Amino acid sequence: MSIDTSQFLQTFYEESFEGLDIMESSLLALSDGDCDDPELLNGIFRAAHSIKGGSGTFGLTAISGFTHLVETLLDEMRNGTRQPERETVDLLLQSVDCIRELLAHCREDGEQTPECSRDLETRLRRLLEQEGEATVTTASVADTDGNGCGWRVDFRPHPDFFLTGNEPVRILRELDGLGELEIEVDTAALPAFADIDPEQSYLAWKLKLQGDIPRASLDEVFAWVEDECELVIEPLSAPGEGMADAEEGVAGELMLERRRGGDRRRNGDRRASGAGMDGSSIRVNIDKVDSVINLVGELVITQSMLSTLGEDFDMSRLQRLHDGLAQLERNTRELQDQVMRMRMLRIGFVFNRFPRMVHDLSSSLGKEVELEIGGESTEVDKTVVEHIGDPLVHLVRNALDHGIEPPEERRAAGKEACGWLGLNAFHKGGNIVIEIRDDGRGLNAERIRAKAVERGLIPDDAELSPEQIHELIFMPGFSTAQQVSDVSGRGVGMDVVRRNIQGLGGSIEIASEFGKGSTFTIRLPLTLAILDGQTVAVGEENYIIPLISIIESIQVRPGSINQVAGRGETFAWREDYLPVIRLDSLFGGQSRCGDISEGLLVVVEGEGRRVALLVDDLLGQQQVVVKSLETNFRRVEGISGATILGDGSVALIVDIAGVIRNARTSEQESTAYGYRQRA
């Protein structure tokens, strides 16, 4: 009976990417000198072993062959015949990257591309050959290479052998191609014909393979099935036939380890990983699923009660109707909350990539950096997790390149030679806050201002606060780097960081002290699917303004709006003059207010600027479900989405950053990205 294994392929990819993340984090721990825990190496070996076996099962021979070399190197490190030196660990980290690339290409295109592995494969083989000659003892050579006579093999597949996609006949055929093969079938476990399950394996084989055959050739044949069988391999001239004799040699110890390795792998801890996550699937804790099921049950009960009331309703049952509707509202809100919880993922999915990045970049830059990560268990919406990674990468790279100084410079400044970089995440209100902190040189306000004047980004006489000067680094093309490097300095990145974060409905702030370090604080909504918004009326249309962007709402006083040449209408607000943006003119509507003093001003903030939106009325605050306008219609500048209100009408959601960009005048662009001088 043939089994279609393609249905398990996606699961294999997900688990393989998880295994690669485990390998990477454990290898980084080894490179930091944490070599006392033997389970660290065992975990790395098990992950590589699982990837090798799975890729072999699905016919991904390029991956299984390359991973077998990695597994061999790891096995020598586990057995103590090789020390985890920095060069070896770096080679293994590069191998992890290569396996990840091979897997990704197979998943996306269905083809194997071994090009990226050729150089690494050569280096791995060279390392194994050089070290192997120096470390293998006389006793182990006999067990590894045999004595030229051949091998005795006891091959007993597990009952579920066929369910893994393996076939004993294929293995026997490959062995027959290595030398002269004698086969003895063991049918002791075979049941009566009527009791045979065609999906179960009952047979075992005692094999005698004669010839001058290297032990490695046999290992290659059984590499794919090591966890799905009991296997004993002995030199043909060995005096003992049983496991007791085999256990006296190195080969017996390896076989015992292989038999136990499968159970260890199945019972091992499986850790979630950003690399293993893609847009098509999400892993959900069973407790969250149970909560949703319970709430659906309560909804069914409430619906049944309301249906019964509707069959023979009279005013005497009005209170019961009110109670039922209130219960329905509670159940619906709880169900909404629980469903949103199912979309929540740990921010650790994103943070897990940075230990490797810091390790590689600090080495290439000649710097010593300690990375401290906190708040990995903080949960945020899946969509946010998928899109916040690139902005964080830019910020971390800039902190390593521009922020943290080389060891000599730090010592001269009275600091420790090793720099410090911190990533932290926590909930605050209805948002998630992510902080990227370093104890480096900080932002040089004088240098930033001079560079901005030099490039014509601000006038020479512009009066800017330190905070406004720091904001200049988010201007397109801005960079203070003396030379372009592989890490940064091309003037591309920080403007993209802000734009991507604002695209998620968030904001970014800078706090920096020259010589002491910098802190970049990112605030993001917990979810992009539901929005807390203020409904406003503009003519005959309703709009939703995100509450996170609103500072305050003000009644327009007669004479408070001024017409400034070249700047349009402005409003005196505290110590600033805010530009007034009429939403009716911006979106092509018609205000109901005959005079501007009859309207309301909603002061909002976006892209580091504050403006006043002129609306007709405030209608109330509510949570709205965000629908993509671009998916269902087309992209509209200044609109981030749409929602359906309780009366069935459609309201557009205002994109504050887009509105500000759309309404910015040429005069505002020439004054420090729209910064206004104090009155």
Contact between 514 and 525 under an 8 Å Cβ cutoff? The reply is no
Domain co-membership, 218 together with 354: no
Q: What is the pLDDT of residue 127?
A: 87
Instruction: Give the span between the Cα atoms of 638 and 657, in whole angstroms.
Output: 7
- Whether residues 604 and 659 fall in one domain: yes
Q: Are residues 128 and 153 in the same domain?
A: no
What is the residue range of 322's domain? 286-342
Amino acid at 113: T
Domain assignment present for 119? yes
Residues 518 and 542 occupy one common structural domain: no
Residues 227 and 371 in one domain: no
Which of 310, 342, 374 lies at the terminal end of a domain, its last residue? 342
Q: Which of 111, 135, 159 is the last residue of a domain?
A: 135
* Residues 625 and 517 placed together within one structural domain of the fold: no
Longest pairwise C-alpha distance within the chain: 107
The whole-angstrom separation of Cα 203 and Cα 184 is 11
The β-bridge partners of 370 are: 420
**Which pLDDT does position 139 carry in this prediction?**
33
- Is the pTM of the predicted complex or chain greater than 0.85? no
Query: What is the tally of structural domains in the chain?
Result: 5
Q: What is the pLDDT of residues 268-323, one digit of tens each?
A: 333 333 344 444 567 777 888 888 888 888 888 888 888 888 777 878 888 888 88
Mark whether 69 and 185 lie in a shared domain: no
Smallest CA-to-CA distance from 251 within 279, 216, 275 is with: 216
Query: What is the model's pLDDT at position 503?
Result: 78
CATH number, domain of 112, equals: 1.20.120.160
Q: Which residues of the chain have pLDDT under 50?
A: 1-3, 132-143, 238-279, 484, 489-492, 665-679
- pLDDT tens profile 231-273: 888 888 644 443 333 333 333 333 333 333 333 433 333 333 3
- 571 and 489 in a single domain? The answer is no
Across the chain, mean pLDDT equals: 78
Residue of 350, 522, 517 whose CA lies nearest to 419: 517
Both 363 and 484 in one domain: the answer is yes
Place of tokens 């030099």: 454
- Same domain for 412 and 465, yes or no, is yes
Q: Are residues 510 and 644 in the same domain?
A: no
Q: Which residues are catalytic?
A: 49, 71, 398
Determine, yes or no, domain membership for 281: no
pLDDT in tens, 391-434: 998 899 989 988 999 999 999 999 999 999 999 999 886 678 99
Question: pLDDT at position 22, please?
Answer: 87
Q: What is the model's pLDDT at position 373?
A: 93
Q: Is 317 within the bounds of a domain? A: yes
Q: What's the pLDDT at 558?
A: 74
The 10s digit of each residue's pLDDT in 7-59 is 678 878 888 888 898 888 888 888 776 556 677 888 888 888 888 878 877 77
Say if CB 398 and CB 494 are below 8 A apart: yes
Confidence at residue 204, expressed as pLDDT on a 0 to 100 scale: 92
- 3-state helix vs strand vs coil in the chain, percent to 5: 45, 20, 30
